[in-house]
């Protein structure tokens, strides 16, 4: 996939597992087969990703939390980067390395183009965190708004259902962004879910459902 993305000149940020080999440039490389020129100018050396990540210093502080289903799964605290290439390719890439408390294995992200400052490295981490937020939104659409129940629908019905589900999510997001007091009251009705959930749409949807149900049983119109 990476080869194809580079051929198509795509910009990407992708997480690495650690078992891929990358090329790292070492200045003044003096290995057993090094010539006088490579000792002076340096050489690209093949290194396993995890080994390279462990060797890469991460002197810069960068606080970023990634959550899934309300639980913290990653908390970045230190970040660094190193220029790399894919074996057999000449395009320069950057591997961003982040370390988090309690995790022995560094977190590795491969990015097109070079990282030249700590702000660039933090931006790469924010891209990955944003991707988790997008996945959480898709999961909310599928599980909470029942978008996944489309197997027996024809194409027209699927299009209508997708439109309705997206409108529901847009409405809930609008309430969160523009109607803070109303959102707080509905979220309070969404208990006993966590007081500080990662994805507020869950609580908001639950509270809205409770409010509608209460009005139906009381024979009142929802304000």
Q: Is residue 196 part of a domain?
A: yes
82, 22 in Cβ contact below 8 A? no
Q: Are residues 38 and 120 in the same domain?
A: yes
Q: Are residues 96 and 161 in the same domain?
A: no
Q: Is residue 209 part of a domain?
A: yes
Q: Are residues 69 and 170 in the same domain?
A: no
Mean pLDDT, range 58-78, rounded to an integer: 70
Q: Are residues 124 and 80 in the same domain?
A: yes
Domain boundary at 102, 121, 140, which?
140
Question: What is residue 29's three-state secondary structure?
Answer: coil
Q: Are residues 151 and 60 in the same domain?
A: no
Q: How far apart are CA 59 and CA 38, in angstroms?
A: 29
Higher pLDDT among residues 63 and 172, named by residue: 172
Q: Are residues 20 and 73 in the same domain?
A: yes
Tell me how many domains the chain contains.
2
Q: Are residues 77 and 172 in the same domain?
A: no
* Residue-number span of the structural domain to which 53 is assigned: 2-140
Summarize pLDDT for 106-137 with one digit per residue, the tens.
889 999 988 989 999 988 888 887 887 788 78
Q: Are residues 83 and 175 in the same domain?
A: no
The tally of CA atoms less than 13 A away on the side-chain side of residue 4 is: 1
Q: Is residue 58 part of a domain?
A: yes
What DSSP element (H or E) covers 23? strand 21-26
Q: How far apart are CA 171 and CA 156, in angstroms?
A: 23
Q: Are residues 71 and 95 in the same domain?
A: yes
> pLDDT confidence of 36, banded at 50, 70, 90?
very low
Domain boundary at 140, 156, 190, which?
140
- Residues in CB range of 68: below 8 A, 6 or more apart: 132, 136, 198
Q: Is residue 73 part of a domain?
A: yes
Q: Are residues 113 and 96 in the same domain?
A: yes
Q: Is residue 223 part of a domain?
A: no
Enumerate long-range contacts of 77-80, CB under 8 Å, 24 or more apart.
77/101, 79/118, 79/121, 79/122, 79/125, 80/56, 80/121
DSSP per residue, 157-201: HHHHHHHHHHHHHHHHHHHHHH-HHHHHHHHHHTTTS-SS-SSHH
Q: Are residues 50 and 130 in the same domain?
A: yes
Q: Is residue 152 part of a domain?
A: yes
User: In the prediction, which pLDDT does 132 show?
Assistant: 77
Q: Is residue 22 part of a domain?
A: yes
The tally of CA atoms less than 13 A away on the side-chain side of residue 116 is: 2
Q: What's 106's DSSP letter?
A: P
124, 107 in Cβ contact below 8 A? no
Q: Is residue 57 part of a domain?
A: yes
Domain boundary at 100, 116, 140, which?
140
- Residues in CB range of 174: below 8 A, 6 or more apart: none
Q: Are residues 13 and 119 in the same domain?
A: yes
Q: What's 74's DSSP letter?
A: E
Q: Return the axis-axis angle of helices 155-178 and 118-143, rounded to nearest 10°.
A: 120
Least-confidence region, from 58-72, 170-184, 209-223? 58-72
Least-confidence region, from 33-37, 67-71, 154-158, 159-163? 33-37
- Residues in CB range of 182: below 8 A, 6 or more apart: 175
State the greatest distance between any 2 C-alpha atoms of the chain, in Å, as a whole number: 89
């Amino acid at each position: 996939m990476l080869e194809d993305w580079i051929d198509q000149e795509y910009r990407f940020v992708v997480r690495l597992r650690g078992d891929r080999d990358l090329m790292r440039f070492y200045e003044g490389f003096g290995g057993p087969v090094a010539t006088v020129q490579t000792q002076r100018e340096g050489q690209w050396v093949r290194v396993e990703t995890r080994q390279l990540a462990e060797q890469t210093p991460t002197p810069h502080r960068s606080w970023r939390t990634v959550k899934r289903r309300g639980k913290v799964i990653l908390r970045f605290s230190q970040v660094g980067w190193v220029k790399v290439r894919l074996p057999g390719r000449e395009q320069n890439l950057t591997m961003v390395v982040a370390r988090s408390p309690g995790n022995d294995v560094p977190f590795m992200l491969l990015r097109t183009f070079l990282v030249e400052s700590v702000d660039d490295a933090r931006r790469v981490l924010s891209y990955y965190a944003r991707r988790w937020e997008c996945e959480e939104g898709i999961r909310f659409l599928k599980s909470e708004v029942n978008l996944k129940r489309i197997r027996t629908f024809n194409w027209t019905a699927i299009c209508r259902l997708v439109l309705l589900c997206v409108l529901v999510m847009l409405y809930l997001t609008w309430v969160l962004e523009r109607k803070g007091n109303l959102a707080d009251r509905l979220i309070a009705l969404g208990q006993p879910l966590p007081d500080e959930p990662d994805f507020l749409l869950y609580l908001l949807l639950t509270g809205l459902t409770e409010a509608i149900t209460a009005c139906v049983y009381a024979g009142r119109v929802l304000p």
